[in-house]
A and B are shown apart, each in its own frame.
Chain A
Amino acid sequence: VHGTDDELVAHCLQGRREAFSELVLRHQKMVYSVARGMLGDAHLAEDLAQDAFLHAYRGLSSYRAQGKFSAWLRMIVTRLCLNYRRDTRREVAWDDLSGHPAELTDGPDSRVVEWERRSSVQRAVDSLPEDYRDVIVLRFMEDLTYDEIARQLGVPVSTIETRLHRAKKQLRQLLRELLV
C-alpha cells in the first residue's frame, strides 16, 4: 500500500485493513518512543502504544486530513499517557535500557562510550518529575515548539517555558553527578 498518510487514512475508511497496517509501520517508532519517554517503562509503553493505535483506528473518521496525521497520533498517545498517570498516580522508573536507541554510529569502542553517555542522560531524564520529563521528551525527542508542546499537554505556553527551564536546571545538576 502506497501513498501519503492522508491517502492511507482514506483507504482505511474504505475498509482496507492493510492501509492501517502501513500507518502502524510508519508511526510505531514515534508512538512507542513518546510513550516510553513519558512513562519510563518499556512494557507499559508497549501497552499504551497499542492503545493509542486502537484509539486512532476508532477515531479515524474524525481525523481531518490536513497532512498532519503524525501530529494527531502524537496527541493521542500523549493524552493517553497523561490519563494513565492521572488514573494511577504511579511514578515508574526507567530501570531497564533493553530498548536500544536507534541509530548508534561509529565503531565498537565509541559505540560503548556513546551508549554509556546516552544511558546516563536517559537515567537523568527518567529521574525528573513527570511534568518535566514530558516537556523534555516533547522538546528534544519530538522537536516540538513551545506552542506545540502547550497544545499537546493542554497547558499555557508560559507553563511550558517555566517547566523547560526548571527541567534543564535539574538535568544539568543530575548529569554533573552521573558523568563525573
Chain B
Amino acid sequence: MNCEELEPWISAFQDNEIDLRRRRVVEAHLACCPDCRALCDEWADLARDVRTSLSRMETPDNLHARVMRQIPEPVVGSGRRFPVIRRQ
C-alpha cells in the first residue's frame, strides 16, 4: 500500500481506533516514511486544537426555564403519578 492508500488507516491509528492487523501495517509504514509521520503528527495537533475549540458551549440563560415551563405540575389526588405533557 502506498501513502495515499494508507492515509485513512493513519487517521484511525491516530485516533487509537484501529485493529491489530492494520495497526501493524501502519506502524511498519510510519517507521520508514517521514512524510506520513509528519502527517500523523499534524493530525494529532489538529485533534488537540479541535478538542479545545469545541468545548461545550455555555447554555442560554433561559433554556432551563423554557423546558420546565413545559413540564406540568403533578395533579394532587388525580391518581396519576407521572404528569403528562399536553402537545402544543
A-B contact pairs, 21 of them (CB 8 A): A14-B81, A15-B83, A17-B72, A20-B68, A32-B56, A33-B56, A33-B57, A37-B54, A49-B59, A50-B63, A99-B57, A118-B53, A121-B50, A125-B54, A137-B54, A140-B51, A146-B17, A164-B15, A168-B43, A168-B46, A168-B47
B67 x A53 contact (CB < 8 A): yes
B11 x A15 contact (CB < 8 A): no
A141 x B11 contact (CB < 8 A): no
Closest chain-B Cβ to A115's Cβ sits at a distance in Å of: 10
B56 x A30 contact (CB < 8 A): yes
B35 at the interface (CB under 8 A from A): no
Closest chain-B Cβ to A47's Cβ sits at a distance in Å of: 9
Besides the known contacts A15-B83, A50-B63, A118-B53, 5 further A-B residue pairs in the complex with CB atoms under 8 A apart: A17-B74, A24-B64, A24-B67, A57-B71, A99-B57
A102 x B57 contact (CB < 8 A): yes
Q: Contact flags (1/0) for B2-16 with A, using CB distance below 8 Å?
A: 000001100110010
A141 x B81 contact (CB < 8 A): no
Q: Which of A78-102 contact B (CB under 8 A)?
A: 99-102
A171 x B56 contact (CB < 8 A): no
Closest chain-A Cβ to B45's Cβ sits at a distance in Å of: 9
B63 x A121 contact (CB < 8 A): no
A58 at the interface (CB under 8 A from B): yes
Closest to B60 in A: A46
Q: Given A99-B60, A164-B11, A171-B50, do A13 and B71 touch, yes or no (CB 8 Å)? A: no
The size of the chain B interface, using a CB distance under 8 A, is 37
Give chain B residues whose Cβ lies under 8 Å from the Cβ of A20: 68, 71
Closest chain-B Cβ to A29's Cβ sits at a distance in Å of: 5
B27 at the interface (CB under 8 A from A): no
Closest chain-A Cβ to B77's Cβ sits at a distance in Å of: 12
Give chain A residues whose Cβ lies under 8 Å from the Cβ of B81: 13-15
Closest to B55 in A: A101
B67 x A102 contact (CB < 8 A): no
B59 x A32 contact (CB < 8 A): yes
Give chain A residues whose Cβ lies under 8 Å from the Cβ of B54: 37, 101, 121-122, 125, 136-137, 140-141
Give Cα distance in the complex from A100 to B17, angstroms. Answer: 31
A73 at the interface (CB under 8 A from B): no
The CB with the most chain B CB atoms within 10 A, among A117, A125, A168, A171, is that of: A168
Q: Which of A20-44 contact B (CB under 8 A)?
A: 20-21, 24-25, 28-30, 32-33, 36-37, 42
> Which among A57, A58, A141, A161 is the interface contact of B56 at CB below 8 angstroms?
A141
